[in-house]
Amino acid sequence: YVVLGIETSCDDTAVAVVSSEGRILAEAVVKQDRIHAHYGGVVPGLARKAHEQVIDELIERVLCEAFACSADGVWIQSAHRLDAVAVTMGPGLEICLRVGFHAARRVLARLTSGATSPRPTFISTHHLESHCLVPRLFGLYRPAFPFLVLLVSGGHCMLLLARELGAYDVLGSTLDDSVGEAFDKIARLLGLNVGGGGGPALEQLAREGSPFAFDFPIPLKKRPDCNFSFAGLKTAVRMAIEHEVKQYGASIEVTNLLQVNRQAAADIAASFQRVSLEHLFERTRRALHWCRTHEPNVRSLIVSGGVAANLELRRRFGELAYDLGWRLQDEDNNHFKNATSNPDSGSDALADSIIFPPLRYCTDNGVMVAWAGIERLQRLDDAAGEPQPDSLEVVARWPIGRRLATDAAEGN
Ligand code: ATP
Ligand code: FE
């Protein structure tokens, strides 16, 4: 199969063409970080406008590249070669999702006008499922269902049990902010330039600081479940920033700490990063223990979403892999680092491997949408049975699955 993927659920316009052999024929992403950097977050109206300005051109460019043809022949070529058009239908910002959906409909209309080949299938994809599945496209080892997913992105922070395509259980999720949101907000509070994304800016500053300079409390330490919380940590960090700034005079703005004391800002960044990653880590361990009792067939952990691009997080989970004797698939090396040399691990191994997508496929991209479309096509007995786009609408709020209680994990 060859599938076109379209993604516009938030602030990235992304398009890709991928084949079922796992080849990326072409891809493009247009980010909007610079547009929203002056505001407190993504402004939906501006995001929609920015998507609208680039989407059609982006699709045409990617199709031309994928099929090595000029703009003149691109629709005829595409009609021959494309088996499906996959588009993110939710969850996300409604007015943004609609831009991608309508673009996908235009593509389908162009492909079928006067076409002799069969109509490509329309596939509606779930944004979070795309994040979960994308590691199955890369690397030597394709994690088999069921697997555990730590999904850490701009809008979500959750632990998912992926049972099958389209069948997910939520083992835990955040009670307030997502981890990506927390990184973004702290980055702004620290006065960092967030034009290239708050998370990456904070990660970079943290390299200059000491992770143990500030002793922020690890969230939900006493709660025996797999949920997350970042509100309390965020408040503790804000108070630390305010405290530091105050020493330089009452008139100085909170966001000026970086200017007046770069080292203190870096120490706060490093300490916040350490504690938030420790929280993710602790909750994931809990979920793995829960799986050992309740879902012993879970043999792998996928860590996906924008925050999975954090190198400190990858290092931390690399240690976990080593401790437990699991394999680590960190795709930027595109091979397994075999961690089973640890003699203490033995039969206590809870799963086989921890898998990260390549860095650039952690944040939103078109490849993950196209790949989710391919996985769906491969399971369809009859593509004609897919609902037609005319009968569909985007779904801004779209839970990925039902909740499972994991309190029994207490004591781990
Ligand atoms: P969702 O997928 O939940 O709808 P989204 O699509 O906006 O949200 P992603 O594109 O998956 O989110 O990820 C963006 C988030 O990842 C941002 O909050 C960003 O700060 C964070 N992020 C990106 N790189 C890093 C990094 N290196 N360290 C920490 N956080 C990062
Ligand atoms: Fe996303």
The pLDDT tens digits for 338-378 are 444 344 444 333 448 999 999 999 999 999 999 999 999 99
| Secondary structure (3-state) at 372 | helix
**Residue 238 has which token pair?**
């804000």
Q: Which ligand is nearest to the CA of 152?
A: 1
Q: Cα(12) to centroid of ligand 2, in Å?
A: 9
Cα–Cα separations (whole angstroms), residue 315 to 18, 133, 208, 252, 278: 30, 22, 17, 36, 12
Averaged confidence pLDDT in the chain:
91
One-letter amino acid of 302: I
Distance 368 CA to ligand 2 centre (A): 10
* Cβ proximity of 150 and 113 under 8 Å: no
What is the whole-number distance in angstroms between the Cα of residue 247 and the centre of ligand 2? 39
- What is the pLDDT, as a whole number, of residue 407? 78
Residues 225-245 pLDDT 10s: 999 999 999 999 999 999 999
Minimal-distance CA residue to ligand 1 atom 1: 155
CB atoms closer than 10 angstroms to residue 118? 11
Measured in Å, residue 164 CA sits from the centre of ligand 1 at 25
Cβ proximity of 139 and 329 under 8 Å = yes
User: What's the CA-to-centroid distance between 95 and ligand 1, angstroms?
Assistant: 20
What are the pLDDT digits (tens) for 50-104? 999 999 999 999 999 999 999 999 999 999 999 999 999 999 999 999 999 999 9
| Share of residues in the chain with pLDDT > 70 (%) | 92
In DSSP terms, which residues pair with 24 in a beta bridge? 18
Tokens found for residue 55: 């989407």
**In angstroms, rounded to a whole number, what is the distance separating the alpha carbons of residues 25 and 4?**
10
pLDDT tens per residue across span 120-165: 999 999 999 999 999 999 877 788 999 999 999 999 999 999 999 9
pLDDT of residue 116: 66
**Helix ranges (DSSP H) in 191-297:** 198-206, 231-246, 257-260, 262-294
154 lines ligand 1 (CB under 6 A): yes
Query: Which residue is it, tokens 């990184």?
Result: 183
Q: What ipTM, to 2 d.p.?
A: 0.99
Q: Which pTM does this prediction carry? A: 0.94
Question: How many Å lie between the centroid of ligand 1 and the Cα of residue 305?
Answer: 6
Does residue 303 register a pLDDT over 60? yes
As given in the structure block, the two tokens for residue 197 are: 């994304």
* Ligand 2 ion local residues (Cβ < 5 A): 153, 364
Mutate to test the pocket of ligand 1, among 35, 126, 153 (most ligand atoms within 8 A of CB): 153
**Is the minimum distance from the CB of 310 to ligand 1 under 6 angstroms?**
yes
> Coil, strand, or helix at residue 1?
coil
**Among 173, 183, 314, which is best to mutate for testing ligand 1, by the most ligand atoms less than 8 A from CB?**
183
> How many residues in total does the chain contain?
412
Name the residue type at position 324. L
CA distance 70 to 55: 18
- From the CA of 202, which ligand is nearest? 1
